Amino acid sequence: MIKTMKRLIDRKKLTFLASLTFVASVSCANAQEAVQSKVLASNLKHPWGMAFLPDGDILLTERNFGNIRRFSFDTGLSNPIKNVPESVSVNQGGMLGLTIDPEFTENQTIYFCYVKKGNGGHSSNVAKAKLVNDSLADVKTIFTAKPLLNNGYHFGCRLGFDDDGYLFITLGDRNKYRKEAQSTDDHFGTIVRIHPDGSVPSDNPFVDGKAPEVYSYGHRNVQGLVVHPETRVLWAMEHGPRGGDEVNIIESGNNYGWPVITYGTEYSGRKITDITEKEGMEQPVLYWTPSIAPSGMAFYHGDKFPDWQGDLLVGSLKFRHLRRVKMNGDVPGEEIEYLKDLNERIRDVIIGPDGLIYVLTDEARGKLIQISPSS
């Protein structure tokens, strides 16, 4: 099993397919669990994000084709939703994360992040729209990450709501602009917080600055975001370079250190910095060296895997597995790898209302997969 380094921080308080089923391997010799996996849909074009609707259907995005699609357990995978704004598939960009409004049952509103080109380059943009049958209506862009750059890397872009109804958006450092992650005057390497209409909350920590949407900074490329199902605290996960992937508890105004402190190195092996800790900069709850290239995260909550309650699930792009981190509160423990037999990059993971686990594989012919306990 890949060596994993951990640190506890001091914080403030299916197209529809016939069932393809197999039992996935588990990497750790002392692990007794096995899981059963079923392919629900395939031939997806680099699927990236997903969310459950109140009726039990799943909305998902296809990065390369700029699509939003709907999966129904009764009728299978829909055609692409109509009236979706055009996105630009540039390197890591395209149609990325999405979430639904906490009041979706009343307002049928969804939010999605997509990359588009504007004056000066490309940028992550968040739009809201009403989902009406197989089409979007009242589409409105409510946030644009600034400044725009001719650069196709490190866009972020996960979306999520907290219990107070604020919308959080994760944003990357755009690769060559890593030093800007230490600035709160732009959106590089930040997590931003806005109201659902795009306006800025008056209690944001940098509300009087040039980028008042910024909630936390010092991030590299955040691609996991979740509110803990029990503590209701916001957690995020970001890609390091060569090593130094991080899982963090996110709090208002905090600096998470990139690139001043990191446990990673350049892809060439050259040092980025000589320090891993500095006063005023947060330490991760968990980090991986070497990198596992994590993307998508969820805390298990449900009744199908009772021994997994509160454990952290993350997808690994690099090593092509679903990783379970056993948690004792906020303290990480043993790690177990699943779905290695798939040999596909795991892009996203969510927990369904049925207590089962759902993942997307980021491939040219990607899959939506349901995970249940092995019989």
Residue 139's DSSP bridge partners are none
Give me 127's structure tokens: 């739009």
Q: Please pick, among 46, 122, 154, 187, the residue that the annotation labels catalytic.
A: 154
CB atoms within 10 A of CB 232: 10
CA 253 to chain centre: 21
259-296 exposure pattern, b = at least 16 Cβ within 10 A, e = fewer = bbbbbbbeeeeeebeeeeeeeebbbbbbbbbbbbbbbb
What is the spatial distance between Cα 186 and Cα 209, in angstroms, rounded to a whole number? Answer: 9
Contacts of 74 (CB under 8 A, 6+ apart): none
Counting DSSP H helices and E strands in the chain, the numbers are 1, 26
Contacts of 336 (CB under 8 A, 6+ apart): 26, 27, 28, 31, 33, 323, 324, 326
Name the nearest CA neighbour of 112 among 62, 72, 185: 62
Contact (Cβ atoms closer than 8 angstroms) between residue 256 and residue 216: yes
What is the spatial distance between Cα 246 and Cα 121, in angstroms, rounded to a whole number? Answer: 29
* Helix ranges restricted to H, 63-112: 104-107
DSSP string, 291-318: ---EEEEEE--SSSSGGGTT-EEEEETT
Backbone dihedral angles phi then psi of residue 107, each to the nearest 5 degrees: -115, -5
What is the spatial distance between Cα 167 and Cα 193, in angstroms, rounded to a whole number? Answer: 6
What is the spatial distance between Cα 120 and Cα 154, in angstroms, rounded to a whole number? Answer: 17
Residue type present at position 105 = T
Name the nearest CA neighbour of 248 among 312, 177, 195: 312
Specify whether 219 is catalytic.
Answer: no
Catalytically active residues, by annotation: 154
